[in-house]
Amino acid sequence: MAEQSGFDSLVALMFYVYVLKSKKDEKLYFGYTKDLRNRFLQHNKGLVESTKNRRPFDLVYYEAYMNREDATEREKSFKKSGSVYNGLIKRISKSLKS
């Protein structure tokens, strides 16, 4: 039980970069958050202004970081670097077809 508690504590410290796929228009949305589960629910409930008209969403990918700056830099790299974006799309291509 102590191992689970330690894991839960570690998870609570993480920052997440995530990719959502709209079931409505099949476009991708990239974001970062401290609470992945809650943020996913916010997107699907229409509580996020930038995505409320594109819901519902599937979570197709995420990465976890111990540091906020690492997470925000990674999110920006997905949005601004074609090679990083294309590399990710290639890596998760089967997940995107699901």
The CATH number covering residue 51 comes to 3.40.1440
Q: What is the pLDDT of residues 27-76, one digit of tens each?
A: 999 999 999 999 999 999 999 999 999 999 999 999 999 999 999 999 99
Count of the separate structural domains present in the chain: 1
Looking at per-residue pLDDT, the higher value among 73 and 7 belongs to 73
Please give the pLDDT value at position 2: 57
User: Which residue range is the domain that position 53 belongs to?
Assistant: 2-97
Give the model's pLDDT for residue 73: 98
Residue 3 has a pLDDT of 63
Return d(Cα 67, Cα 76) in angstroms, integer.
15
Total-model pTM: 0.89
